[in-house]
Chain A
Amino acid sequence: MKRLFSYIPSISTLEKYMLPSLLILFFIQFHYYSFYAQKFGEIARYVDTSKPNIYKQIQNQHQYAELYQLANKYKDTDTPVYIVMTLQDNDFLDYTTTYYLKEKNGTKQRSVYLTELEMMTRYFFYPRVIPTLSFKQFLTLKLATGDILISDQDLRDIFPPTSHIAVIPTTPKQFIMNVKKPPKLHYLFYVTQ
């Protein structure tokens, strides 16, 4: 028993002066940490660990879950899949949506527009490379039944002749990462005829 008590902190004089400040500092910091710890628990409580498909259960809460499911279905097939980016313009360039390509023969830099939607598409479909089309390119595209379109706009609204495309429904997600802004809306379609 005496041995057990020997592990209870013995406070030196220096610590006596230091401890109140230290405790307050710790509680300030812990206030942030407890917020994260609580948030982190939410998705873990949602997952049913007794079921075998835990990876898919978590992935179903991904903000691009339907895109992930689409990639799983089509990445090893020949079904044409296109990304249609209607907003592909220098007006929309910023650090988080842009990468810089250095020209091979010199020091000239060229800005290339990149969005989270394209980034996630390339990631989920890897190693299959999905072409990105501008809206103009899309208008001249000959679509066939079963083709898949991934877009930043609801193409049904802005392009009436595409009324033969059907939207793949996306569901709102419960667990948005608390350090990240919610993603921009995106739309998935398949060609019906």
Chain B
Amino acid sequence: MIEWLRVAGYFILFQYLIGHIFLSFLWKNRTSNILMHIPLAWIIGNALSIPLLYILAFYNKLDIINPITGTIIFVLALVVAGTASTYNKKGVRVSVRQLLLLGAIIIFFLPLIRDSLYSFLIEWDAVAMWFIKAKAFFVAPGMWDNVLYQSKAFLYTERSYPIGGPLLIATYYRLIGFANDQTVQVYFLFFYLNSVVLALGFLYERIKSLSLLSILLIVLSFFITPLFIRFSHNGYMDMAMANSIASVVVLAIYQYEDKASHTRLYLIPMLLIAGSGALIKNEGLPFLVLTVIVGWGISLYKKKAALAITTSSIVLIYPLIAKLLWEYYKRNAQIHFYLTTLLPGADIRARISLIVGQYLDTLQYTSTQSVVVILSFFLLLFLTTALVYKKQYSALLPQVFIVGQLGAYTYMYLITALPLNIQLPSSFDRLVLRLLPALFIVLVYQGEKVIKIFSNKQLL
């Protein structure tokens, strides 16, 4: 157990190191706040690993991941990360206040960390879709000659779904030589913990007048609803997606606010994260399209777009290659996507009425979300109204991601072949969960703007 735990720790640390190396070279003249640097390094580490795992799986070369190669790569990453830190001239800013916040978060979430290490795997989608695929990529060296993709007995696993999550789990299994579906849950808990730290860092960075106590109370109140706690470490991929979406929203805000010549520094990680999001879940694809539109749109608006768009396009090729290889494999292995067509005779108007009804119900569904969603909704309405009255339309930009994703979900519900009256209530709360960390970022960003307006007494 201790050995498995140690390997899980190295695997988690490895993702941070890779992300840190990437950010150190990319942002060599930018000072980062440690509370933002840590979660961004985590998600970028994952975004860089996932396409590579796809490529290895396509060429049936997952066998090269074993305890020996794992150790060598980890030591290399450690050395390069040390060098990268010295290369980065401005580095990462660390203060006692930030460390206090980080320490408080770690102590507060210790029960979750402990439970993620000591709980068995039981929830449906985790067993039926993600972890059985992880076993498949542990047993087989890749996509080809893989029992799960050949036998009709496994059609229920939704074989057309992206395999980013299963490949990460299989990597851990390969590093310890055993399919330990208990310890690996701590890895997925980190998508949740990093979302919390990202929110904490963003609030700390933006609203400076708040004391540490208020920052902690606000962030924890938002992030400890039963919905978050349940999906933080039950083997589902929703928090991985939520973490990606929130990180992209933060980077889009940075991109918009920084100098025109710096837009590519944010556009590159944005497209990498969104690109790998498309390799984790299907909804990642519309999110990638949205990110490209918003990211390139900001670059064009700032009038120094050519370099930013060119370099980010080159970077985007990396996750796109993985996506294309997966699509090629699916076509070759005749793996169909079950949501492709609208059922004949489906009534769009009846569906829209059901969907809107569900959205309104969800707002008031407090048994799993507590009061977080309804409070956030009204706060968002208030902030939006204030910003529209003061003609600060640019502050509404991050909302495009939330509205765009909701639009994509609505479209999915319009074409789903599953019985909508059953699928809608059983899936929508998780779709909301994926947007909540991003919603928190949007609220803080717009809250900062409105506080400025208030403090200038422009509204009074």
Interface residues in chain A, defined as those with a beta carbon under 8 Å from any beta carbon in chain B: 7, 9-12, 14-15, 18-19, 22-23, 25-26, 28-30, 32-33, 36-38, 40-41, 43-44, 47, 49, 52, 54-55, 58-59, 61-63, 94-96, 99-102, 104, 107, 109, 112, 114, 116, 119-120, 122-123, 126-127, 129-130, 177, 179-180
Contacts and interface: CB of A to CB of B under 8 A. Distances in A.
Nearest to B424: A95
Given A119-B156, A180-B122, A30 B114 contact: no
A123 B131 CA distance: 8
The 3 closest A-B pairs by CB, nearest first: A9-B211, A40-B115, A37-B111
B118 A94 contact: no
Contact of B136 (A18, A119, A126): A126
Nearest to B100: A7
Contact of B422 (A23, A52, A94, A109): A94
A102 B338 contact: yes
15 contacts: A9-B212, A12-B209, A26-B217, A28-B370, A54-B1, A95-B418, A102-B340, A119-B127, A123-B128, A123-B132, A123-B135, A126-B139, A127-B140, A127-B147, A180-B123
A26 to B, nearest CB: 5
A16 B219 CA distance: 18
A7 B128 contact: no
Interface of B: 1, 4, 96-97, 100, 111-112, 114-115, 117-120, 122-124, 127-128, 131-132, 135-136, 139-140, 147-148, 151, 153-156, 158, 180, 182, 209-214, 217-218, 220-221, 224-226, 229-230, 234, 334, 336, 338, 340-341, 343-344, 370-372, 375, 417-419, 422-423, 426, 451
Nearest to A131: B153
Contacts, number: 160
Contact of B96 (A7, A49, A58, A62): A7
Contacts of B221: 22, 25-26, 29
A9 B100 contact: no
Nearest to A68: B120
A58 B327 CA distance: 38
Contact of B417 (A28, A32, A100, A177): A100
Contacts of A43: 115, 118-119
Contacts of A95: 418-419, 422-423, 426
B226 A36 contact: yes
A149 B96 CA distance: 61
Contacts of A49: 1
